[in-house]
Chain A
Amino acid sequence: GENVEQHPSTLSVQEGDSAVIKCTYSDSASNYFPWYKQELGKGPQLIIDIRSNVGEKKDQRIAVTLNKTAKHFSLHITETQPEDSAVYFCAAIVNTDKLIFGTGTRLQVFP
């Protein structure tokens, strides 16, 4: 079936460094790609999303890039801070209506 793959599963960075998380998807009809952040004991929250009509979107320290030809998209966090530590999930719409999530990346930012 349609799926979303996410790498890496864990990522450790020093405070101030950048972090990059990558996802690939299989449904060529997918046109909406959100990223969610999940803190311990809470439900995921949307942090940024991108639609297929653009290749990049930025919001302060976070950015997302999309390569529709290669069917992959990435999350970039610059100047990381300890409060960025969380689990990050990418997602893609499949079959034009259902949101399927990647397996998650646990990001740890060390002071």
Chain B
Amino acid sequence: GAGVSQSPSNKVTEKGKDVELRCDPISGHTALYWYRQRLGQGLEFLIYFQGNSAPDKSGLPSDRFSAERTGESVSTLTIQRTQQEDSAVYLCASSLASGTGGTGELFFGEGSRLTVL
């Protein structure tokens, strides 16, 4: 079956522009995560959605970052007024269940590489 799909795979934008990154999780997965990975760095937690619960936004680095998720399907990560330090790969992952329940295994997409000039 289809895995986690992210688009665009590559995005080059100018400083100050807004960008939207999209994630299509695996069907039936209730949990969805966004992570940021700067070049050669680790996975930085951004935001987490679980079912109909309020999202955990504790990792969003500034108010320029926001994310939405429609039910248990598509999610979009929006970065407003992009800065050069926003350049990174943005990874989305989905899971059957969160935390201690279910398998806990995250299935990652291949990421959206954002370059801010």
Task: List chain A positions with a Cβ less than 8 A from chain B.
Answer: 1, 6, 31-32, 34, 36, 41-46, 49, 89, 93, 96-104
- Cβ of A100: which chain B residues have Cβ within 8 Å of it? 45
- Cβ of A99: which chain B residues have Cβ within 8 Å of it? 33, 45, 104, 106
Asked, given contacts A101-B45, A104-B41, whether A49 binds B110 with beta carbons under 8 Å apart, the answer is no
The reply to whether B104 and A93 form a contact with Cβ atoms under 8 Å apart is: yes
The reply to whether B43 and A49 form a contact with Cβ atoms under 8 Å apart is: no
The reply to whether A43 and B109 form a contact with Cβ atoms under 8 Å apart is: yes
The reply to whether B105 and A44 form a contact with Cβ atoms under 8 Å apart is: no
- Please tell me if B108 contacts chain A, counting CB pairs below 8 Å: yes
Residue in B4, B91, B104, B110 whose CB lies within 8 Å of A34: B104
Measured in the bound complex, the distance between the Cα atoms of B4 and A32 in whole Å is 22
- Please tell me if B93 contacts chain A, counting CB pairs below 8 Å: yes
Nearest-neighbor residue (CB-CB) of A31 within chain B = B100
Measured in the bound complex, the distance between the Cα atoms of B50 and A36 in whole Å is 21
Residue in A45, A49, A103 whose CB lies within 8 Å of B104: A49
The reply to whether B56 and A43 form a contact with Cβ atoms under 8 Å apart is: no
Measured in the bound complex, the distance between the Cα atoms of B44 and A103 in whole Å is 9
Asked, given contacts A34-B105, A93-B99, whether A98 binds B42 with beta carbons under 8 Å apart, the answer is no
Nearest-neighbor residue (CB-CB) of A102 within chain B = B42
The reply to whether A44 and B42 form a contact with Cβ atoms under 8 Å apart is: no
Task: List chain B positions with a Cβ less than 8 A from chain A.
Answer: 4, 33, 35, 41-43, 45, 48, 50, 56, 58, 91, 93, 98-100, 104-106, 108-111
The reply to whether B48 and A89 form a contact with Cβ atoms under 8 Å apart is: no
- Cβ of B42: which chain A residues have Cβ within 8 Å of it? 6, 89, 101-104
The reply to whether A43 and B93 form a contact with Cβ atoms under 8 Å apart is: yes
- Cβ of A44: which chain B residues have Cβ within 8 Å of it? 43, 91, 106, 108
| A-B contact list, 10 entries, CB within 8 Å | A31-B100, A32-B104, A34-B104, A43-B110, A44-B108, A97-B100, A99-B45, A100-B45, A101-B42, A103-B42
The reply to whether B43 and A46 form a contact with Cβ atoms under 8 Å apart is: no
Measured in the bound complex, the distance between the Cα atoms of B35 and A46 in whole Å is 16
Residue in A32, A97, A103 whose CB lies within 8 Å of B50: A97
